[in-house]
Structure 1
């Protein structure tokens, strides 16, 4: 991938919003035993040694969180740290013991570099909304029209019976009620409405890939003494669109 732009971010603060996560893979080097305070008055103790580790930084509306998975055992030891969302992790940082409710400070550096690929183009799949007219029979309306017609036919028969009660022969065919004589034949009365349906389509796009590399070096410091440290690397790729045609 050819990079046309390389940005070295010297003072870029780590900004996490919503459910965003940044994941680091690296090494945990414990020089002296570290005791981590956890929720529900629990503690996690990590003995000296050098271990592979994964660290995830995340945030919600009120807190930032650090989740560590230290592979000093099977399964890995899990440690969680929390602090205010207003505390930034930038090029340099120092989160105090009081801010994390721990017995050590977390201090270190994080270097961030952003690179962008050349602009690319392609056709990609998409979905779009299409209006579709749907009609269904209105049974209630049809039934009402039929009932009105039956009532008119019955009324005609009653009038004929009153006017000529002595008639024995049936009403001549030319005088008998017929469909349409007292109004239109009950129609099919549909109810129609527009329903939006999803359809597959394609669209033309132009975009570039933005890659963010981060290197973090964080130390666990107690009364000026470093109990241990974590060094890790994170790479994130994001597709940034510069143009998107309509989906069709």
Structure 2
């Protein structure tokens, strides 16, 4: 009985090819996992937290952790009829990497589900933050916009009056890591939902908001926070004393 060495060689070659392909697949998977682990080690996680101290005797609320008091509305100044929404919240990056292209979007999903207000924040280092009593995070809107869009909250009674916003609101944070991966965080006034929800990728926002975000992203990073906070952030960056 003769041995068909040609057939054996063909089988061996096929087995070697399969083994090589399997090793290549395993190597590729290992490299992908290593790259994913490397990117995860630089992942930012941006959140909003209440900066008000319940032990502070000047605290203006019996329950400083009530979400009802997290956003307040007042007039911009005596020369303008514009409204100023102030967040009693601190924006903080609790992740392990810097957050780039940080956007904050204020939505009123029940009263005005088709639009929102957008501000672009400066990049945040790991453990970096901004927003406090002296330099709060603020949204400016005109009374004309309020009249047209009917957000559903009561206006202040006078120029010096400030009142909590009593409509249901959501604040969405969108940001990127140094690799261009996109993330989002959602905070809501509705106590029936968790205060913080973190996700990967872009959130399904109203069309008008998404169009504006895409347009602004094409323009590059242009900070649109209030001037006092801009000065503080730039001063901190120039002196090397960023908030940690």
State if a TM-score over 0.5 links the two structures.
Answer: no
Under a length normalisation based on structure 1, what TM-score does the superposition of the two structures give? 0.22
Q: Which has the larger radius of gyration?
A: 1
Under a length normalisation based on structure 2, what TM-score does the superposition of the two structures give? 0.22
Query: 1 or 2, which has the higher strand percentage?
Result: 1
Structure with more contact order per residue of length (Cα contacts < 8 Å, sep ≥ 6): 1
